Structure 1
Amino acid sequence: MRSQTATEMDRRYRDADFLRNRYVEAGQSASGIAEDCGVTRPNAVRPRNARVGVKRHASVTSSTVSRWLDRHGIERDSNYQDRAWLAQQYVDRGRLQQDIADDCGVTKSTISHWLSRHGITDGAS
């Protein structure tokens, strides 16, 4: 088996099997996949680079990975979007938002968004 060049490594995010394996089976985030494919942090470095004359090189961002996930129709279980399931986890079982997020492979802010969208509170307030 031949080794992959840097360009081939950077473009793995376009491959449906690679994405499915990393995102669905391994539960890796789009940001994690982007980092594995050679992501830089363009928003963090762009202003400084522009001031010192450094040209920005092509990079893979989490939004790029997310677009390719969408193009291939790859998604995880989205139980967290279901009102009854989410209420059971958060209210009935008393789980923390971060725990639910970790189990669903999303961020805590995603869980917070869906709780708010469904009007679900923990009842303590």
Structure 2
Amino acid sequence: MEKVTFTPVKWPNREAVNQFTKTPGVLCREVMCELDSGAAKLWLAKSPITLGWIVTRLEERELVVCAATGTGMGPAFREIKAGGLGDHYDSIRCHTSNWRVEAICQRVGLEFSEVIYHGGVNRGR
């Protein structure tokens, strides 16, 4: 199996924005704000069969995968689960509304935890 390389990329990045635009709903407004503020990090994942973008943030010693898009991403998630983004995390949590990413998470051994519903407050308007 080919090793996936991860390169940190400055946000905003035209190629990443284009790819996330092709998968609507994957990169939500909150995650874009985290990228803008530097609280989240954008990665380019590359191998002979993988080409994609992953957004992560760190919460103490847990790596949170906030968004992901691309082709052949299974190996990238396996590499992340094996510590491929460094030694600064002991566990992984993945937030997704994309069934493809959810399937990859299950294949690499991440366990289902919860479903979250989110919405704005309507104050009598």
Q: Whose helix proportion is higher, 1 or 2?
A: 1
TM-score under structure 2 length normalisation: 0.25
TM-score under structure 1 length normalisation: 0.25
Q: Whose strand proportion is higher, 1 or 2?
A: 2
